[in-house]
């Protein structure tokens, strides 16, 4: 686009005369403003006269700019208003406040933001505790009347456990492969190749399969709980439920929590089996341990307690994942950004909670000598 002339400036006898030309409108205002400001600043005169009489059009933003110019420098005079421009200036005066009221946003220091973060973590934890408390209170009425919703529980068993089986299977198989492969490389050097079976069997059933399954489910089902409930929060469905005297705890929270708590141990057991299959395949290829040899060795070393230890953790993991997912969903505010933030928090928090819980169990079982 050709640069159009937007004003003509004449400088004589300490007076800068500016005649405005053409159209002054918001989309192209920036460059015109800059040009006019630099002309006025470089002229170094004490009086400026701005003539509006040759303007084709003027909009509010431009008028606001000239009004501001007047305030910056006491010697600016605006003249030659058309009736339309005059009414526009009146409108501006009526609808603007002192410039100082629009001053820049308050700046936070590092200490401020640290304080805010710590405060929000603590209050998050306290509200989770409150949510947990409410779950316990409501659980007393769970089996009264129609509060227990079997249909809903079954639906969530399908969406959060059964449909998760393929991805759990794939991940578990690969973990079995990786653990056995790494173990085999090390143990083969000592001629203790057969102990790979012990290593894989025990580490998979006790720790790896439960933890891996919990992480996959947290990323999959935990995130979906948060976003489902978050959207319901935004569309006021949860408020509607409350207003109709239907409890979101019985409708939304318990079916999800129960579904996951009832079934996660089965998913973990399934992951145990698939991971051991992965281990068997690698053992045969890498160490030439045949399937029957592998199973024989597994039978003698893998005590039932190892499988039970892994599976026993499942309900705890499940409760943490489901309750954190729902809790974060209920925290969603009425804006689209907050769903993203809360879903992220939900996944991060539940994975951390699962790992912390697992560590606690590890210490406990070791102390108990199991």
Q: What residues make contact with other proteins under the rule CB under 8 A?
A: 25-30, 59-61, 64-65, 68, 84, 87-88, 91-92, 94-97, 99, 101-104, 333-338
| Minimal distance, residue 212 CB to other proteins, in Å | 35
Paired strand residues for 15: 12, 47
| Minimal distance, residue 33 CB to other proteins, in Å | 8
Paired strand residues for 79: 51
| Minimal distance, residue 99 CB to other proteins, in Å | 6
Angle at 342 between CA 340 and CA 345, to 5 degrees: 110
Residue closest to 160 by CA, chosen among 224, 210, 203: 224
Contact 50, 78 (CB under 8 A): yes
CA 218/CA 224 separation, integer angstroms? 9
Q: Name which of 47 and 67 has its Cβ closer to other proteins.
A: 67
Q: Name which of 163 and 336 has its Cβ closer to other proteins.
A: 336
Q: Name which of 288 and 337 has its Cβ closer to other proteins.
A: 337
What are the tokens at 152? 């809903």
Q: Where are the alpha helices (DSSP H) in 150-253?
A: 150-160, 165-188, 195-203, 209-217, 223-234, 237-243, 248
Residue closest to 80 by CA, chosen among 102, 50, 105: 50
Contact 210, 266 (CB under 8 A): no
| Minimal distance, residue 63 CB to other proteins, in Å | 9
| Minimal distance, residue 61 CB to other proteins, in Å | 5
| Minimal distance, residue 321 CB to other proteins, in Å | 27
For 115, other C-beta atoms within 10 Å of its C-beta total: 12
Q: Name which of 96 and 139 has its Cβ closer to other proteins.
A: 96
95: part of which helix (H) or strand (E)?
A: helix 83-95
Q: Name which of 104 and 288 has its Cβ closer to other proteins.
A: 104
| Minimal distance, residue 1 CB to other proteins, in Å | 11
Q: Name which of 24 and 317 has its Cβ closer to other proteins.
A: 24
CB-based burial label for 231 (10 Å; 0-12, 13-18, 19+): middle
For 293, other C-beta atoms within 10 Å of its C-beta total: 16
C-alpha of 196 from chain center: 40
Q: Name which of 100 and 109 has its Cβ closer to other proteins.
A: 100
CA 236/CA 36 separation, integer angstroms? 51
84 Cβ contact partners less than 8 Å away, ≥ 6 residues apart = 58
Q: Name which of 50 and 175 has its Cβ closer to other proteins.
A: 50
């Amino acid at each position: 686009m050709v640069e159009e002339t937007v004003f003509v400036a004449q400088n004589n006898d300490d007076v800068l005369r500016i005649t405005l030309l053409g159209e002054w409108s918001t989309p192209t205002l920036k460059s015109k403003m800059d040009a006019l400001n630099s002309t006025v600043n470089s002229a170094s005169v004490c009086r400026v006269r701005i003539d509006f009489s040759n303007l084709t059009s003027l909009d509010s933003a431009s008028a606001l700019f000239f009004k501001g110019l007047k305030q910056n420098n006491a010697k600016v005079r605006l003249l030659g208003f058309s009736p339309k421009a005059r009414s526009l200036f009146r409108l501006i005066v009526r609808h603007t406040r002192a410039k100082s009221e629009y001053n820049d946003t308050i700046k936070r220091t590092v200490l401020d933001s640290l304080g805010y973060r710590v405060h929000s973590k603590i209050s998050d934890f306290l509200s989770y505790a409150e949510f947990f408390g409410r779950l316990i209170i409501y659980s007393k009425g769970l089996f009264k009347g129609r509060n227990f919703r079997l249909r809903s529980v079954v639906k969530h068993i399908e969406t959060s456990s059964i449909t998760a089986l393929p991805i759990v299977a794939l991940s578990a198989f690969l973990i079995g492969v990786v653990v056995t492969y790494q173990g085999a490389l090390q143990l083969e050097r000592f001629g203790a190749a057969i102990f790979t079976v012990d290593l894989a069997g025990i580490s998979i059933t006790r720790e790896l399969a439960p933890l891996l399954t919990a992480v996959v489910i947290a990323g999959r089902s935990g995130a979906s709980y948060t976003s489902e409930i978050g959207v319901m929060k935004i569309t006021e469905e949860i408020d509607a439920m409350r207003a109709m005297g239907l409890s979101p705890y019985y409708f939304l929270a318990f079916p999800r929590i129960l579904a996951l708590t009832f079934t996660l141990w089965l998913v973990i057991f399934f992951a145990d089996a698939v991971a051991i299959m992965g281990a068997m395949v690698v053992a045969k290829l890498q160490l030439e341990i045949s399937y029957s040899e592998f199973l024989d060795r597994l039978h003698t070393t893998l005590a039932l307690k190892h499988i039970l230890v892994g599976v026993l953790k499942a309900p705890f993991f499940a409760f943490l994942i489901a309750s954190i997912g729902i809790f974060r969903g209920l925290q969603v505010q009425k804006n689209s950004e907050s769903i993203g933030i809360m879903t992220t928090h939900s996944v991060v928090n539940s994975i951390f909670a699962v790992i912390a819980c697992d560590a606690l169990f590890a210490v406990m079982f070791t102390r108990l000598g199991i």
